[in-house]
Amino acid sequence: MPALIPPQRKLEDAFSRIRTYLGRRFPRLRKSTWEWCKDLRESVRTGKRRAFMHVGHKSNSHVCVWPGTERLSDSHLYGLFLHEFGHIGQGASEAGADLWIFEHFGITIEYKGPKCLEWVGPEIIRSRFGG
């Protein structure tokens, strides 16, 4: 049986791998941080988009994460974080966030699963982030 990874550690691991990778080209991203945000609970319950994470709540370089996000697959987790970094890089536009990641890093964020959430392939996680 695989060891259980505490939620905080799983999120921190993905976040810091992405921040390190993107921060090589955009040093200002290295200051980015994340924390759990209970304000997201209602939007998750009602099934709104942008439900699992958001930026701009505490600052424009701070990512809020819904407690429960750690139960998503790594592909969704990395996809969500990359999308939020796209907001930090580019601004509030939803399509623009994904485009920013694609233009600067050649990573395509797809939308998959019953909730149609951000998703990147396992080979991207392996080759870019060593995850």
Under the rule (CB under 5 A), what is the footprint of Zn ion? 37, 39, 57, 64, 94
DSSP character at residue 49: T
Q: 39 vs 110, which CB is nearer to Zn ion?
A: 39
Q: 58 vs 126, which CB is nearer to Zn ion?
A: 58
**Cα–Cα separations (whole angstroms), residue 37 to 13, 25, 27, 44:** 18, 28, 25, 12
**Residue nearest Zn ion (C-beta atom):** 64
Shortest spacing between CB 49 and Zn ion, in angstroms = 8
Find, among 66, 70, 59, 52, the residue nearest to 118 by Cα. 52
Shortest spacing between CB 83 and Zn ion, in angstroms = 5
Look at phi and psi of residue 36 and say left if phi exceeds 0, alpha if psi is from -120 to 50, else beta.
Answer: beta
Q: 19 vs 83, which CB is nearer to Zn ion?
A: 83
Shortest spacing between CB 2 and Zn ion, in angstroms = 31
Distance between CA 124 and CA 78 in Å, rounded?
9
Q: 110 vs 126, which CB is nearer to Zn ion?
A: 110
Shortest spacing between CB 90 and Zn ion, in angstroms = 10
